[in-house]
Homo-oligomer: A and B are copies of this chain.
Amino acid sequence: MLIEDRLKELRELINRKVPSGITVSNVEFEGPELVIYTDDPKVFADQADLIRVLARDLRKRIVVRPNVLEDPEKAYDEITRIVPENGGISDIFFDPDTGEVLIEAEKPGVVIGKNGSTLRDITKSIGWSPKVVRTPPIESSTVKQIRQYLRASRDERKEFLRMSGRRIHRDIIAKDQWVRVTTLGCCREVGRAAFLLSTPESRILIDCGEKPGATNGATPFLGVPEIQPLTNLDAVVLTHAHLDHCALVPLLFRYGFNGPIYSTPPTRDLSSMLQLDYLEVIRKEDRPAPYSSNEVKQYVKNSITLNYGSVTDIAPDIKLTFHNAGHILGSAIAHFHVGDGLYNIAFTGDFNYSKSRLFNPATANFPRLEAIFMESTYGAAHDMTPSRKDAEIKLYEVIKRTIERGGKVIIPAFAVGRSQEVMLALEEGIRKGDLPAIKIFLDGMIKEATAIHTTYPEYLNSDLRNQIFREGLNPFLSECFEQVDSSDKREAVINGDPSVIITTSGMMNGGPVMEYLHNLAADERNTLVFVGYQADGTLGRRIQKGWREIPIGTKGSITINLEVTTVEGFSGHSDRRQLMSFIGKIHPKPERIFCIHGEESKTLDLASSIYKKFHIQTHSPMNLETYRMV
């Protein structure tokens, strides 16, 4: 059926279902949503259950928009009149193209009202569809820029959503039924994650990352015929914002892709931040950049964000649902339901099956599941990490003895994930008196990454959310943290009192950590604490291995006198024990498990251990293979 006929049919169907007094003038696909345009948004909003019933019956995500919109100024006054004072509205943006009004408030719950009653009042009164976002306690320039950019490119974006919507809802024409996965990277290695899920009807790319530290073979195999031409790709699905998963998504636009990229909202924001930083690092090293900031913008423009649990059509025969992966902010296990009950397959991305200070453990429950592609970073039998508790006790001890002898603690850390975990551990240590009341300085992109964390508190675990909302105690806002945002300030920190400095880069390949090392390495009272994996070839790894004389360009060299120590246990990954226990608990039991994202020996070890223990068919694929699922 032509898509126009389909829409006409849907309009008639909806008109039959809505009570008299409501006129549906038009329906349109916009991305994965079915948008209903009406002259009577107020009457529509009165029928609390109507949208839910339509969504259920049509098996579509439904959005209602008015044909005629209230004048923004009048609407502004109406909103502030309807929403109680304690909602703390900090800003209101109108988007005439989508008919949406974005309300930024300190207490979104107040703006929404009980069961959405206040929101419905707003809709009835002004016609615009209200969307509520929380006023972030720390302003993120990334989030701000993304919102500005999306507003500025709204015409293009509207057209993009309309086109994607029509593409997603096209008729199924293929007669064959099969589901295949092609491995384009990240098999028997860590890095360049890229998996192609294909059916006779659709092609979905899951992740598109770089391989850190690789001199050749740094990109996924995007040149093979399976994925060519990229214009035929229905969608890209991004599990999380780490560069080994997201770095090369913008490159796809250079190769002709122009479809949607699905991720959670935090993943979109963190990814674009890290992609721009990735370009900056390449620029500083005088290497040729695979893409420019223009493609990062395009990535943002083509992003369609989904929250955990939202079941979404992304192709005629594929539904995507994100589930919490517990790894970093917004990290997701991507679950695909293919066909009408034909097959279910999940890609874990990176995941943590234990609870951390920031996140709940990864989901192990799925409505259905036949196969899973699972990371194996710590997949070998001996890959056991200490508990988070023990790691924190060790970290406290190192800090205490350093402070006591009048030294400073340098903690190199990735901006996203590990930094925030360490921040929370230190904040609690100080608050509960396990650590002295020292200052914790944050340098590099850590503050910006933390700001994005505070923009999406609903992605943090319930304890932390309760602490923030019920107890009004946002640990990220603690007075113990202080941002370093100038060289003067950095100099002051270096020459100041004993303190802790959390700073990028995490593997000591450039970034502000170099400045601290340069100035603090000679003094044996100071301590350098590694909390994350140091890859081969990085300066961090060399120092860990015992190098004590570090040549630094033409400046001569740095002599390492300070204490060097490693605290394991802050990893965002499941260790071997957790990987096995995840498979023990996963429900339903999949028929096949593919161990990926790990060194060869680890994926092989994990695959054979799972097979032996659980009698599930396992594979340790190589890159460039295609597995038939059904």
Contact = CB atoms under 8 A, between A and B. Distances in A.
Interface in A572-609: none
A140 interface: no
A591 to B, nearest CB: 14
A182 B182 CA distance: 11
Contacts of A217: 176
Contacts of A624: 178, 180, 626, 628
Contacts of A225: 225-228, 232
Contact of A626 (B175, B176, B178, B625): B625
Nearest to A232: B225
Interface in A214-232: 216-217, 221, 223, 225-228, 232
A1 to B, nearest CB: 22
Nearest to A216: B175
A622 B180 CA distance: 11
A627 to B, nearest CB: 6
Nearest to A626: B626
Interface string A604-630: 000000000000000000111111100
A588 to B, nearest CB: 22
A188 to B, nearest CB: 10
A628 to B, nearest CB: 4
A468 to B, nearest CB: 48
A180 to B, nearest CB: 6
Q: How many copies of this chain are found per oligomer?
A: 2
Contacts of A200: 223
Nearest to A179: B624
A441 B261 CA distance: 70
Nearest to A630: B622
Nearest to A178: B624
Given A225-B225, A225-B227, A227-B225, A628 B625 contact: yes
Main secondary structure of the interface of A (DSSP, over half): loop
In this complex, which of A176, A182, A225, A625 has the most chain B Cβ atoms within 10 angstroms of its Cβ? A225
Contacts of A175: 216
A564 B492 CA distance: 103
Contacts of A622: 628
Nearest to A217: B176
Nearest to A174: B223
A590 to B, nearest CB: 17
Contact of A627 (B178, B180, B227, B625): B625
Q: Could you say which of A176, A178, A226, A624 has the most chain B C-beta atoms within 10 Å of its C-beta?
A: A624
Contacts of A625: 180, 625-628
Nearest to A624: B628
A215 to B, nearest CB: 12
Residue among A175, A226, A228 with most chain B CB within 10 A? A226
B227 A182 contact: no
Interface in A150-184: 175-176, 178, 180, 182
A255 to B, nearest CB: 15
Contacts of A628: 622-625
Interface in A411-462: none
Nearest to A187: B628
A549 to B, nearest CB: 37
A180 B627 CA distance: 13
Interface of A: 175-176, 178, 180, 182, 200, 216-217, 221, 223, 225-228, 232, 622-628
11 contacts: A176-B217, A180-B624, A182-B626, A200-B223, A225-B225, A225-B232, A226-B226, A623-B628, A624-B626, A624-B628, A625-B625
Given A225-B227, A622-B628, 20 more contacts: A176-B217, A176-B221, A178-B624, A180-B624, A180-B625, A182-B626, A200-B223, A225-B225, A225-B226, A225-B228, A225-B232, A226-B226, A623-B628, A624-B626, A624-B628, A625-B625, A625-B626, A625-B627, A625-B628, A626-B626
